[in-house]
Structures are given as structure tokens and as C-alpha cells.
């Protein structure tokens, strides 16, 4: 058994190739067993075991820097750098993060929760090291899926010949979360088949080397090499950007990986190492369905989903699309995660997966809307943050009707600070022409989706991660009042409204349409002596602050208190995060008693 609790980068370097191969198999089994229990990103990490062992065989962190893009492929790196024991509490309160974090380990060069950032970050690190006169290489590990994001190209375009210590490893597994789509994916497919060029080149060199005439011919035709290369495999975008290109290489052949990384290390110029891996490698269910096994829930070895908000939203969208051929589904490489596989299967011509390119997805949706279509862009709240300019410039100013399904709104649990969906409300409410609904069960989810599709402007339905209650609301209303006539009113929205409604010490006003704030809701609140607002979103710029202003503008003189999110939440289960923010039933009741 080579995989022990005291495994280290130095130990990796001491192993021969046979030992490294055995270690890779042991790490793969460890990941399957542990991630199945704790939950986390499984398929992506199974695909990068050999790559990570090879990286730590060739480079020496923290002197050398490895930037993972995105960090959900960094579990083997965490194991090797002394955090194997921490996998017992992976993505849990007090445990290790599911992503690289420099505050967690000096071996983590840069945070890696979102996609397409690695090249830009690695280039900045490389330049800083040069300015400080520090030795060492910087390696950016980026997937072909992340290469569909625009920031990756901005970073590649900015690399110049002086970044001699920068190596970009392109981990090409033909996947992001869903299968990679678009011209970039097609281009990489062509490059993967370009081995014929290298085979032909070596055969010609071998033939010409056997005579003095042949050697002279070889020298004379060297100037036409670039033309021949272009003709055989249609150029190489990386070399066009001034980067030395190596590959493609089998990303599961540890010996070849070490050899090519050693060459890249001594090249002393910025370069691309193109490797080919299989997502889910070594675990047949994940190999066959890596989209479902990209991220799995705690204790869920199957990777299969239950009736989540995402799943139900996708089913409701399909029902509406069956009746209206203007409705289209748009995703940024997350077809299964957002429930859009239903419309994709039934109406493939009206489904668009644009790759990991949220900004493009939103502007593309606006283009669809400009021609009378009704685009529905389903996106995680945390990834919608990338689209602010597009919301203002492309959607709001010319009043395009687009629908946003803002998934994973509010606390999302174990993914930690980088993925919490707590910023979309302040962001969206600052954009003119935006309407926002926040359902709390299946019935209201379906109602809100239909309202959003039939509305105008930017129409948003935001809902949380997790199981969606069935609910019993029979008729739509912008807000619902429940209680028995208390002089204290709770105002809230979304999933926490169910807990709020269980508090007997106060009446509860549940907002279904949260913005613009319904006049009916303000009128209702004016009748109470105390108003307490509970919000699963950031306090600054949230609905609670806006509601308070509306009340005071109307002359409200009673007590008012806001409980909302003040800072990002660390990894923990959602119930723990809600409790720590004072947004569960127990803390809501306690706050009511404190106000009496």
C-alpha cells in the first residue's frame, strides 16, 4: 500500500514508474470510496489522477506554482500535498474545501471555484515571480471545457515570449460539465487527429537522413515547414499565439506525461502541453455518464438526482415549450445540472449549449429575443455574476424579453464561498426593467415560470438547490399573508418562508414576486407594529432594505429589523449555513421573541 496519510510531493518523486502507476490506482480507489460518502466532484478528479502525479513528479510546490482551472479537478493534488486525512470532512464545516484555497495550503497557488481563470492568474503569478527574481515554473491546468470561456483566450492572447516560466496544460477530455460544444471543441477534435502530421514528418526525416543529398534537401525544405504543417492539420491556434505546442499526449500514460512535462520545463519559453484524458477514468458508471457524476451528493454513489427545483423547472419549461414554439432553452455547459435536458431531448433545434461562456449565453439570448423568440437561460446564481454588463447593455437598455432561471439561489452548502448564490438579488434589482419571482414549492415554481415566460423585459425566477416541496398553493398571488392577527409581521421569500410560516408568535407575509416590491405587500406591512424581514441574500442592496425604504416613505413608525446575509458562507450543509445566518425556524422564532 503506497497511499499513506503522510504522502508528500517528495515521496511521489522517489517512486519509480511502476510505483507511480500503482499509486494512481490507489488514489483512484480512494477517491471513489471517499467522495461517494462525502459528496463532491468525482468524474473530473478521476480523470486527472495521472496528470497530477506527473505534475508533482516534475515540479516542486510551493516553489513551483500549479493553478487549477477549475479547482474541482484538484482532489489528487490535495491528497499529495498532505490533506488525505482531511477527506473525511471534505466540503464540510471545519473540513477541507472542494476547491484550491491558498488559506488552506501553501501548495494551492490560487483559488479555483469558477472556470476559465487559470491562464490569467498563472500569467500574473509568473510575471510577479520574474519581477521579484524568484526561480520556479507556473503551470496552469485548464480543461477543454474551460477553454470555451472568453477569459481563457484573453489570458492566452496576453502571453508573450518573456513569460518563460509559464506552462499551460490543456486537459482535453471533451467535456466541461456537459459535453463540450462549439467551434473550439471541433477544433480540438481536429488537433487530436493530427498525429498523422507528426508520423509523416518523422518518416520523411528518417528517409532523407540516409544520404548527403537527402540531408541537403531536408535543409532546403525547412523553410516550407509551416506551410506543410498548415496544409496537413489546418494550423495550430496556440503556435499562432506564439506558444510552443506539445501534444496531444495520452493523459493516463504516466511515463509519457512525465517526459513531456520535463521537456516543457526545460524549454524556457511559454508553451502548451496538450493531453487527452477520460473523465471518470477507472469507474465505469462515471466513464459512461460523466455528466451525472460530475458532482454527486453526500452518500450518493449513483450520482442520480431526486426531484429538485432544477429538475421540476426543466419539466415545467418543456410543458410550456410544447405549446409555444418561440420558447428556447439556453445553457452554459450545464444541461443536466439545470434540468434543460428535457427540452434538449424533445426540441433539439430550440436548445443551445454555448459552452462555459455565460456572457455570450446572455447576449446570444438577447439576439434570440430581438427576433421574437423567448429564450430561457438557466444558470447558477454564482455564474450569473459574470453577466452584469450584458444584463445592462444588451437586455435592459433595449428592453429585450429574456427569461433567467437563476438556479442555486441562496446558500448552496458544501461548495463553499465561491459558489454561494447570494449576490444575484442586489445585482438584478439594480438593472432597470427586471422582474424577479422567488417560489417556495412546486406549485409556486410552476406559477412563477409561467408568469416569467409571459411577462416582458428581464424576467427572473430564482430558486434554491435541493428538494422542492410539493406545496398546496392553488392560485397565484404576488404575496401571501398567513397568521392569526399578531401585531408583529415576518416578511420573507423563497424556501425560508416555509420555516417562517411555522412561527406562531407572528404573522407571515411571503413574497412570491420580490421585485418590484408589490404595493399590496407594503400596504399590508403598514398595519403592523413591528416588521421583521428575513432574507436569504446579501443584506446590502437586498429586498429587505428596499422594503424598509418603501415603508418609511409611507410614514411607517413602528419597529423594523433585518436578518440577512452579511458575508459569504464557508463549506457546510445548507441547514448549518441557514442556522448560522439566523434564517432557520429556531432563530426566526428567537428573533421574534427578542423584539417583543
3-state secondary structure 288-306: HCCCCCCCECCCCCCCCCC
Provide the Cα torsion 203, 209, 214, 215; round to 10°: 120
Domains of the chain, earliest start first: 9-288 (3.40.50.970), 309-412+419-462 (3.40.50.970), 479-595 (3.40.50.920)
Handedness of CA 101, 102, 103, 107 (dihedral sign): positive
pLDDT value for 161? 83
- Cα atoms found within 13 Å of the Cα of residue 114, Cβ hemisphere only: 21
Longest dimension (CA), the chain: 103
Q: Which of 28, 181, 350, 386 is catalytic?
A: 386
How far is residue 591's CA from residue 283's CA, in Å, rounded to a whole number?
49
On the 0-12 / 13-18 / 19+ scale of CB atoms within 10 A, 358 is buried
How far is residue 344's CA from residue 57's CA, in Å, rounded to a whole number?
43
CB-CB neighbours of 102 under 10 Å = 12
Q: Which of 28, 279, 350, 495 is catalytic?
A: 279
Q: pLDDT in tens for each of the 596 residues of the chain? A: 888 888 999 999 999 999 999 999 999 998 888 887 777 778 888 989 999 999 999 999 999 999 998 767 888 999 999 888 888 888 877 778 878 888 888 999 888 777 888 999 999 999 999 999 999 999 999 988 888 888 888 999 899 888 889 999 999 886 544 455 555 555 554 544 444 444 444 554 555 565 665 555 455 444 444 444 443 344 567 777 778 889 889 999 999 999 999 999 998 899 999 999 987 776 666 555 555 555 555 544 444 456 899 999 999 999 999 999 999 999 998 999 999 999 999 999 999 999 889 999 999 999 999 999 999 999 999 999 999 999 999 999 999 999 999 999 999 988 778 889 999 999 999 999 999 999 999 999 999 999 999 999 999 999 999 999 997 788 999 999 999 889 999 999 999 999 999 998 999 999 999 999 999 999 999 999 999 999 999 999 999 999 999 999 999 999 999 999 998 888 888 999 999 999 999 999 999 988 76
**Nine-digit cell at 179?**
459535453
Note if 350 is an active site residue: no
**220 three-class SS:** helix
Note if 279 is an active site residue: yes
Q: Which of 358, 414, 536, 545 is catalytic?
A: 358
Note if 386 is an active site residue: yes
Q: Dump strand ranges (E) for 146-290.
A: 166-172, 244-250, 271-276
pLDDT value for 550? 97
**Nine-digit cell at 36?**
461517494
pTM of the predicted structure, to 2 decimals: 0.79
**147 three-class SS:** helix
Which residues touch 380 (CB under 8 Å, ≥6 apart)? 334, 337, 338, 406, 407, 408, 419, 421
How far is CA 560 from each of CA 283, 389, 491, 526, rounded to the nearest angstrom?
A: 55, 34, 11, 11
Amino acid at each position: 500500500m503506497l497511499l499513506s496519510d503522510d504522502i508528500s510531493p517528495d515521496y511521489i518523486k522517489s517512486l519509480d514508474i511502476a510505483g507511480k502507476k500503482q499509486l494512481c490506482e490507489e488514489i483512484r480507489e480512494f477517491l471513489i470510496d471517499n467522495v461517494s460518502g462525502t459528496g463532491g466532484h468525482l468524474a473530473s478528479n478521476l480523470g486527472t489522477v495521472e496528470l497530477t502525479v506527473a505534475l508533482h513528479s516534475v515540479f516542486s510546490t510551493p516553489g513551483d506554482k500549479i493553478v487549477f482551472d477549475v479547482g474541482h479537478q484538484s482532489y489528487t493534488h490535495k491528497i499529495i500535498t498532505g490533506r488525505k486525512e482531511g477527506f473525511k470532512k471534505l466540503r464540510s464545516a471545519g473540513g477541507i474545501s472542494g476547491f484550491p484555497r491558498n488559506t488552506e495550503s501553501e501548495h494551492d497557488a490560487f483559488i479555483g471555484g469558477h472556470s476559465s481563470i487559470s491562464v490569467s492568474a498563472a500569467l500574473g503569478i509568473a510575471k510577479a515571480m520574474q519581477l521579484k527574481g524568484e526561480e520556479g515554473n507556473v503551470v496552469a491546468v485548464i480543461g477543454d471545457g474551460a477553454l470555451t470561456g472568453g477569459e481563457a483566450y484573453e489570458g492566452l492572447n496576453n502571453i508573450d515570449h518573456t513569460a518563460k516560466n509559464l506552462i499551460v496544460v490543456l486537459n482535453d477530455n471533451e467535456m466541461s460539465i456537459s459535453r463540450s460544444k462549439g467551434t473550439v471543441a471541433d477544433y480540438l477534435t481536429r488537433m487530436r487527429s493530427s498525429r498523422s502530421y507528426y508520423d509523416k514528418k518523422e518518416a520523411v526525416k528518417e528517409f532523407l537522413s540516409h544520404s548527403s543529398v537527402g540531408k541537403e534537401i531536408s535543409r532546403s525544405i525547412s523553410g516550407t515547414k509551416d506551410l506543410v504543417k498548415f496544409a496537413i492539420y489546418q494550423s495550430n491556434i496556440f503556435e499562432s499565439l506564439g506558444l510552443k505546442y506539445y501534444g496531444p499526449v495520452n493523459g493516463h500514460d504516466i511515463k509519457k506525461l512525465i517526459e513531456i512535462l520535463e521537456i516543457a520545463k526545460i524549454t524556457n519559453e511559454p508553451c502548451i502541453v496538450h493531453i487527452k484524458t477520460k473523465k471518470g477514468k477507472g469507474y465505469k458508471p462515471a466513464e459512461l455518464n460523466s455528466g451525472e457524476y460530475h458532482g454527486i451528493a453526500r452518500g450518493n454513489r449513483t450520482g442520480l438526482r431526486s426531484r429538485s427545483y432544477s429538475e421540476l423547472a426543466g419539466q415545467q419549461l418543456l410543458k410550456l415549450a410544447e405549446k409555444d414554439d418561440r420558447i428556447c432553452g439556453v445553457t452554459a455547459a450545464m444541461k443536466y445540472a439545470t434540468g434543460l435536458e428535457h427540452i434538449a431531448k424533445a426540441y433539439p433545434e430550440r436548445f443551445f449549449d454555448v459552452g462555459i461562456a455565460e456572457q455570450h449565453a446572455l447576449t446570444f439570448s438577447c439576439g434570440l429575443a430581438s427576433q421574437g423568440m423567448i429564450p430561457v437561460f438557466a444558470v447558477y446564481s454564482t455564474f450569473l455574476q459574470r453577466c452584469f454588463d450584458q444584463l445592462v447593455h444588451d437586455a435592459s437598455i433595449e428592453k429585450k424579453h429574456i427569461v433567467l432561471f437563476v438556479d442555486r439561489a441562496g446558500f448552496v452548502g458544501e461548495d463553499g464561498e465561491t459558489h454561494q448564490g447570494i449576490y444575484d438579488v442586489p445585482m438584478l434589482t439594480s438593472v432597470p426593467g427586471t422582474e424577479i419571482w422567488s417560489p417556495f414549492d412546486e406549485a409556486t415554481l410552476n406559477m412563477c415560470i409561467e408568469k416569467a415566460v409571459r411577462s416582458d423585459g428581464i424576467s427572473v425566477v430564482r430558486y434554491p438547490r435541493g428538494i422542492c416541496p410539493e406545496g398546496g398553493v392553488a392560485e397565484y398571488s404576488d404575496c401571501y399573508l398567513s397568521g392569526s392577527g399578531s401585531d408583529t409581521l415576518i416578511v420573507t421569500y423563497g424556501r425560508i418562508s416555509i420555516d417562517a410560516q411555522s412561527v406562531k408568535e407572528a404573522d407571515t407575509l411571503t413574497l412570491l414576486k420580490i421585485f418590484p416590491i408589490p404595493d399590496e405587500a407594503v400596504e399590508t406591512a403598514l398595519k403592523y407594529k413591528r416588521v421583521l424581514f428575513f432574507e436569504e441574500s446579501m443584506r446590502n442592496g437586498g429586498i429587505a432594505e428596499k422594503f424598509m425604504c418603501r415603508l418609511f416613505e409611507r410614514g411607517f413608525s413602528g419597529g423594523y429589523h433585518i436578518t440577512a446575509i452579511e458575508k459569504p458562507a464557508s463549506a457546510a450543509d445548507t441547514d448549518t449555513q441557514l442556522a448560522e445566518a439566523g434564517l432557520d425556524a429556531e432563530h426566526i422564532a428567537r428573533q421574534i421573541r427578542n423584539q417583543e
